[in-house]
Structure 1
């Protein structure tokens, strides 16, 4: 199950934006070799990756609203497009290349979670500040906690992604063995369905469903 807390939507409205969240759920998923051409096509379709983008500017507004500094910790789509502008997005595997390509093309943050590793309801909330988050720092595994009021994804065990979509944790990360996944697409003042449908079309899975969560 998935849920989006009302106070997260209210936070976005407080700075003039309407948030939308879509989930692409895939079962019987098959990973495989990456596709560099898919990434190159996405970069070409995205246009000038160094120019200001209204969707990314909206994300900066929301990040500031919950106390993050977007210049230091930008949303995932902004960070990815900056890397793409430098030619620094390597082909990894079928799953990673698929959602990176859609994220670059649409300037939309996308995260992928292994559904077998999720516990209970995956929900977008404002953190209390004492939730655990497993990550890596200086090459070593560490457990951190988000700031109070920070927007995070979490399940019944711990935080799975900090600062809304900035950094994902290790426990629910997609791997070569992943066969059931959820891809979370997040937008502000935009229609996410074209991006969700493109991602669904790139996945090799037995069943794929698109749900709107907010």
Structure 2
């Protein structure tokens, strides 16, 4: 696997993605030295904290009216997706808190909980499954996406113009932050990973950084010697328009 800094130095966000949403920011966190394993007492406590926090948020507000979820619904409409049918990852998780967030493995459980707690879409990818560096772009429609449908492994293709994360081998996540592929999914054996935090206004830079710091802090509880490298992508032309407080 390439050096973490090399992976992020070669990462890209295409200009036509920023043209779609000039307020978009992507914070990439590449880590090595993770201690994998099943969920434990710490990850369970974090999931319960996230479920409780979501319950308070939703006490007087519909899920689709929460500010960052509403912003992502608008972003999905901008490239032709129907948010009521293909929900962004933050909305999908927040909706599940009423009956309980999924329990998958320690790494997945931690980043799902942080996503809900900080109300930011957050994805985790196993860097051992990557071919080259991550790129966010608008698809041509020919890119392969390895997934499962009705229990069967299949290869799908994104819609032309769809916003996708990909590497040299194909799509790693469809519709910006809707569905991740099988090839790079985190497992109980993952030791090196890429975490992607997606932000739109009204989420501030400060809130985005706080979510990243919280994620890394929880990962380091199980892996004190964790190596961490980060990179923030933003539209330089729209920099002054993004809230910083």
TM-score w.r.t. the length of structure 2 is 0.82
Matched with 1:65 is 78
1:76 matched to which residue of 2?
Answer: 89
1:91, distance to aligned residue in structure 2 (A): 2.4
Partner Cα distance (1:71, 1:178) in 2: 32
1:210 is displaced (CA, Å) by 2.8
Are 1:53 and 2:58 counterparts? no
How far has the Cα of 1:209 moved from its partner?
A: 2.7
Measured in 1, the distance between the counterparts of 2:47 and 2:190 equals 21
Determine if contact 1:12/1:19 at 8 Å carries over to the other structure.
yes
Of the three residues 144, 148, 153, the one matched with 2:156 is 144
Deviation at 1:60?
0.6
Structure 1 residue 90: Cα displacement: 3.0
1:185 positional shift:
0.5
Corresponding residue SS for 1:91:
coil
How many aligned positions are there? Answer: 209
SS at match of 2:228: strand
List structure 1 runs of 4+ shifted beyond 3 angstroms. none
Corresponding residue for residue 27 of structure 1? 32
- Uncovered stretches (5+) of structure 1, i.e. residues with no partner: none
User: Following superposition of structure 1 onto structure 2, how do residues 91-106 of structure 1 map, counting pairs within 5 Å?
Assistant: 91-106=103-118
- For 2:233 and 2:187, locate their aligned partners in 1 and report how far apart those are by CA, in whole Å: 25
1:11 aligns with 2:23: no
- The answer to whether the Cα contact below 8 Å between 1:32 and 1:93 also exists between their aligned partners in 2 is yes
TM-score (norm. length: structure 1):
0.93
RMSD: 1.3
2: CA distance, partners of 1:27 / 1:110: 18
How far off is 1:88 after superposition? 2.9
1:196 touches 1:210 (CA, 8 Å); kept in 2? no
1:88-144: CA deviations, max 9, x gaps?
Answer: 313222101110111111221111111111111210000001111010011101101
Q: Distance in 1 between matches of 2:216 and 2:136?
A: 22
Name the SS for the 2:123 alignment partner. Answer: strand
> Any residues of structure 2 matched to 1:85-124 within 5 Å, and which?
85=98, 87-124=99-136
**Per-residue deviation, 1:36:** 1.8
Q: Could you say which residue in structure 2 is the equivalent of 1:160?
A: 172
Determine if contact 1:113/1:174 at 8 Å carries over to the other structure: yes
Which structure has the highest helix share of the two?
2
SS in structure 2 of the partner of residue 24 of structure 1 = strand
Take 1:103 and 1:144, find their aligned partners in 2: how far apart are those partners?
27
Q: Which residue of 1 aligns with 2:230?
A: 210
Structure 2: how far apart are the matches of 1:210 and 1:193?
A: 11
Q: Gaps (5+ residues) in structure 2?
A: 1-6, 235-245
Q: SS of the counterpart of 1:130?
A: coil
SS of 1:213's equivalent in the other structure is strand
Aligned to 1:129: 141
